[in-house]
Amino acid sequence: MPRPRFAVLGAGSIGCHLGGHLVAAGHDVTFVGRSAAMATLAERGLTLTSSTRPPVHLPPDRLTLATGPEAAAGADHVLVTVKSADTESAATALAAHLAPDAVVVSFQNGLRNPAVLRAALPGRTVLAGMVPYNVMRSEPGTVHQGMPGRLMAEPDDALLAAFHEAGLDIEARTDMSEVQHSKLLMNLNNAVNALSGLPLRDQLGLRAYRGCLALCQREALAAYRAAGVAPARLGPIAPGAVPFVLGLPDAVFRRLAAASLRTDAHARSSMWEDLKCGRPTEVESLQGEIVDLARAHGRRAPVNARLVALVHEAESAPRTWTGPELYAELRAAR
């Protein structure tokens, strides 16, 4: 099988992590990102770290860096890793340059990105993908994988072969819509984590914050039932039982969820990073998606709606919430 040429559209945390591992395995990857981020990579190169593998450093001369979508013209596979609010504009800019037979893979959170890409890139093959683990910029030019996990994507032999060669654990799934709905349940914690100001492991270790997540997930599961959606089971606990487990006392939860808490001490949600950097968050594509789905089926999702509002407030006036404060605020919203 000929080796595909890759482009990464949105060379931030996930884009640099995926693209960097492909480059390390000898693949041809063009990184398309913002000029400041590309200047940092051009100066320092790209370093990939994790707590389980030795660090990999790619010097600047191993990186193909670009700031405009025309650089993706020769790509066979484009990995889309912009934040959800940027998908439409990035794809529209890409449309004029992309080869007609190129395959576009969304490795983003939320439910709508593949559909947005299909609408902006008519005739192209667009696949849904999913990243289950956390990646953060730990310092300029370095991205750190903070927890283990298996990537998922709709089947594509060339993509899977290249990822496996690069040591990126990936599974082909034919139920990506169900996978994305399941991932969204997990991502409802992004807002709770961002507002807590704590690392994921510490935040999830505290029952009051888990209670906030359980309230969000209960509304989401009710909306899914009303919509006839059955989220995929991705871990040892069925999605419908997770809110109950989240409500268990700390010591019991820690024992039951030990595997899920195999997270680096400093790992935080991508939404925490957005708030810290003063960027708009993806809350409309996460909690906002549940609010919309509930409304479309004649239901309310007041807890998720309150979190949308609180995260928007935090975007303009940063504040952190203790677990009991946030839990009381969300219960009062019901």
Ligand X SMILES: CC(C)(CO)C(=O)C(=O)O
Q: What tokens does 99 get?
A: 């080869």
Shortest spacing between CB 316 and ligand X, in angstroms = 21
Query: Interface with ligand NDP includes 331 (CB under 6 A)?
Result: no
Chain residue at closest Cβ approach to ligand NDP: 12
Query: Interface with ligand NDP includes 14 (CB under 6 A)?
Result: yes
Task: CB nearer to ligand X: give 27 or 268.
Answer: 268
Q: Cα–Cα distances in Å, from 293 out to 85, 128, 227, 240, 303?
A: 18, 20, 8, 17, 14
Query: Interface with ligand NDP includes 82 (CB under 6 A)?
Result: yes
Instruction: Give the Cα separation of 293 and 289 in Å (integer).
Output: 6
Candidate segments 6-14, 18-26, 96-104, 232-240, binder of ligand NDP by CB under 6 A: 6-14
Shortest spacing between CB 320 and ligand NDP, in angstroms = 20
Instruction: Give the Cα separation of 139 and 146 in Å (integer).
Output: 14
Shortest spacing between CB 145 and ligand X, in angstroms = 10
DSSP-assigned beta bridge partners for residue 56: 48
Candidate segments 78-86, 95-103, 163-171, 321-329, binder of ligand NDP by CB under 6 A: 78-86
Contact predicate 96/104, CB 8 Å: no
Cross-sheet strand order for the sheet of 135-139: 56-58, 46-50, 142-145, 135-139
Shortest spacing between CB 39 and ligand X, in angstroms = 25
Contact predicate 48/21, CB 8 Å: yes
Residues that bind ligand NDP (CB under 6 A): 10, 12-15, 32-34, 37, 81-84, 86, 89-90, 93, 107-109, 131, 134-135, 270, 279, 282
